[in-house]
Amino acid sequence: MPEHPDTAPYDALLLLSFGGPEGPDDVIPFLENVTRGRGIPRERLKKVGQHYYLFGGVSPINEQNRVLLDALRKDFAEHGVDLPVHWGNRNWAPYLTDTLRRMVLDGHRRIAVLATSAYASYSGCRQYRENLADALATLAAEGLALPRVDKLRHYFNHPGFVRPVIDGVLASLADLPGEVRDGAHLAFTTHSIPIGAADTSGPAPGHGHGGAYVAQHLDVARVVAAAVTEETGVEHPWELVYQSRSGAPGTPWLEPDICDHLESLHGAGAPAVVMVPIGFVSDHMEVLYDLDTEATAKAAELGLPARRSPTVGADPRFAAAVRDLLVERAATERGEPRERCALGALGPGHDLCPIGCCPARAPRPAAAGADSPYA
């Protein structure tokens, strides 16, 4: 039964994602887009290129976003949300600037943006906002009237993001051999980032080292582990670990790496492990290579039974969560704030990133925050 929730003042939703190559010839230009000005060593780039070539030069991320788009449109249609959903990427076609230009030419003036990144940090939040600012600057230079873009709040602790993760962990545990199941550790994983970036990822009340990025992941891990215990009656030991480290070897990044962690678990006599990639929204290349290929091979070499639980992907509960975030923000923008869903201890995040949060090494304009140069 369509309920026609009020989504005014918005006239469109923009799904903003990372983008990925769709064939071998795309790999190098894609990596050049990602790493422009980021100081990534050549050796690391060669290695990462190989991850993509192993899968025919195709990242699954674009197809996953097409499926998510379908899920969002279906959810909106079923609930009477009459808002078009468009898609643009930071690093590959369809490029953000091209999508935004088309949206403006189609007459959209007030656009809600959902980024496929659930947490705070420069890479996970401000960099998307910088790309929005760049796109707006390009459109302004072309003489177009700029729309207002609002980024929907971080959703790492939204039940529509967390509950599918819990179900995935339960399914992975059930898939382990019975004799090792109850002793299995849960290894929650996310993208490693430089310690300096983690420490400036926003204030996290009561949390020392790591700032908001680490605190948010720990909050989700706690909720998932507790829900698993509630369901199975078994307390699985858990840890938050990291993957996909990049950058220069001399720069400190968040540790331990998942592969080192598997060795420690094995050394300590853990009978099995479920790897839970809470840091990602879909099973893209960081999951397919770093976990399903590299870490899975490491576990096999150790003789450690391992499973990898799914990311949220296009789960209908996630699509419903996006609608909830959109309706919630629309209400706030109309001056009629309503309940904001969140699990865990941190509570719902801010709508507007505060001035100077998640700073870049070299300051650049960022849209959709308190320090946005755009209205």
Ligand X SMILES: CC1=C(CCC(=O)O)c2cc3nc(cc4[nH]c(cc5[nH]c(cc1n2)c(C)c5CCC(=O)O)c(CCC(=O)O)c4C)C(CCC(=O)O)=C3C
User: Which residue in 124, 159, 349, 369 binds ligand X (CB under 6 A)?
Assistant: 124
Work out how close the CB of 92 gets to ligand X at its nearest, in angstroms, rounded to a whole number.
8
Contact residues for 38 (Cβ-Cβ < 8 A; gap 6+)? none
Burial group, residue 8, by CB count within 10 angstroms (0-12, 13-18, 19+): exposed
Work out how close the CB of 231 gets to ligand X at its nearest, in angstroms, rounded to a whole number.
28
* Orientation angle between helical segments 42-53 and 27-35, nearest 10 degrees: 140
How far apart CA 58 and CA 76 sit, in angstroms, is 30
User: Which residue in 9, 94, 237, 247 binds ligand X (CB under 6 A)?
Assistant: 247
Question: What would the x/- binding string for ligand X be over residues 315 to 354, using CB under 6 A?
Answer: ----------------------------------------
Two structure tokens written together for 304: 């450690």
Is residue 34 part of the contact set for ligand X (CB under 6 A)?
yes
CB-nearest residue to ligand X? 246
Question: What would the x/- binding string for ligand X be over residues 269 to 308, using CB under 6 A?
Answer: ----------x----xxx----------------------
Q: Which stretch binds ligand X (CB under 6 A): 40-48, 95-103, 162-170, 312-320?
A: 40-48
Work out how close the CB of 50 gets to ligand X at its nearest, in angstroms, rounded to a whole number.
11
Is residue 48 part of the contact set for ligand X (CB under 6 A)?
yes
Work out how close the CB of 265 gets to ligand X at its nearest, in angstroms, rounded to a whole number.
24
Q: Which stretch binds ligand X (CB under 6 A): 6-14, 69-77, 114-122, 153-161?
A: 114-122
Work out how close the CB of 38 gets to ligand X at its nearest, in angstroms, rounded to a whole number.
4
Please give the distance of CA 169 from its chain centroid, rounded to a whole number: 18
Work out how close the CB of 62 gets to ligand X at its nearest, in angstroms, rounded to a whole number.
8
Contacts 24+ apart (CB under 8 A), 134-140: 134/97, 134/365, 135/88, 135/96, 135/97, 135/100, 136/100, 136/367, 136/374, 137/365, 138/97, 138/101, 139/97, 139/100, 139/101, 139/104
How far apart CA 40 and CA 247 sit, in angstroms, is 5
Beta carbon nearer to ligand X, 216 or 244: 244
Is residue 35 part of the contact set for ligand X (CB under 6 A)?
yes
How far apart CA 100 and CA 23 sit, in angstroms, is 25
How far apart CA 244 and CA 190 sit, in angstroms, is 8
The answer to whether the beta carbons of residues 310 and 168 sit under 8 Å apart is yes
Burial letters 10-29, b for 16+ CB under 10 A, else e: bbbbbbbbbbbbbeeebbee
Work out how close the CB of 350 gets to ligand X at its nearest, in angstroms, rounded to a whole number.
18
Is residue 366 part of the contact set for ligand X (CB under 6 A)?
no
Is residue 38 part of the contact set for ligand X (CB under 6 A)?
yes
How far apart CA 261 and CA 104 sit, in angstroms, is 48
Question: What would the x/- binding string for ligand X be over residues 49 to 88, using CB under 6 A?
Answer: ----------x-x---------------------------
How far apart CA 352 and CA 354 sit, in angstroms, is 6
Contact set with ligand X (CB under 6 A): 18, 20, 31, 34-35, 38, 40, 44, 48, 59, 61, 116-117, 121, 123-124, 191, 193, 244, 246-247, 279, 284-286
